Amino acid sequence: MRRPFVQGMLDGVPIALGYLSVSFGFGILAVRLGLPVLAAVGISFTNLTSAGQAAGVEIIAAAGTLLEMALTQFVINLRYALMGFSLSQKLDATFTTPRRLLVSFGITDEIYAVAISQPGLLTATYMMGLIVTPVLGWSLGTFLGAAAGELLPTAVSNAMGLVLYGMFIAIIIPPARKDRRVLFVVALAAACSVVFRYLLPMVSGGFAVILSALAASLAGAWLFPIEEEAMT
């Protein structure tokens, strides 16, 4: 039987391969917005949040404020806190407070999905192994994309930069096709973004993202409330 850390690393290989291609697009985007290669890799190695990183470098490129950055990251990454609460129910006795803090760094949608599906309680060594491989894949993909962004012609690098946005679309489309309520909220967020872009250009890009997401979420919660019985 494999050691928990090694098993975690092996379970993280498919995630790492997926991250390798997606973070390639982020690397190109970061370089295109003026960040050096090492800065782009540093962001990926210390953040591990695709949507948050994409929004973050956009704010950096636009010379946004720290308040914009903090609020944007809070809204975009709030779901990770919910995933952390859920995973806390599966942690065994080896999880000391420092280990909980360390593992919380690596909670992503994909890592959460693999971890929560494991039978029994999760050990700290398994979770660390499960996180290590995706972090390496995400950082390596960012480096390759950033390096390629400096070498490839502008037209090609711009086209490759669409990979990251393609991932966002791939995340949105399946649930939107299954549930018209999700489609409505997504469409409303997009409409709000267009309003800010063309009718309220004085609002910075970071705050436009925050306000659009909040407006669409509040409208969805008001129009399509979930009954308590359906949540249990």
- pLDDT single digits (tens) 168-183: 676 677 777 888 888 8
Q: Looking at the predicted structure, is the pLDDT value of residue 227 above 90?
A: no
Q: Residue 63 region, left (φ>0) first, then alpha (ψ -120 to 50), else beta?
A: left
Locate the domains of the chain by residue range. Answer: 4-171, 179-232
pTM for the whole structure: 0.70
Percent of the chain with pLDDT over 70: 87
Q: Residue 34 region, left (φ>0) first, then alpha (ψ -120 to 50), else beta?
A: left
Percent of the chain with pLDDT over 90: 20
Q: Residue 48 region, left (φ>0) first, then alpha (ψ -120 to 50), else beta?
A: left
Q: Give me the chain's average pLDDT, please.
A: 83
Burial classification of residue 154, based on how many CB atoms lie within 10 Å of its CB (0-12 exposed, 13-18 middle, 19 or more buried)? exposed
CB 114 within 8 A of CB 13: no
Closest CA to 192 of 215, 171, 176, 173: 215
- Which pair of tokens denotes residue 69? 């950055």
Looking at residue 94, the DSSP 8-state letter turns out to be T
Rounded Cα distance, 133 and 75, in Å: 27
- Arithmetic mean of pLDDT, 58-75: 85
Could you tell me the pLDDT band of residue 164, with boundaries at 50, 70 and 90?
low
CB 18 within 8 A of CB 138: no
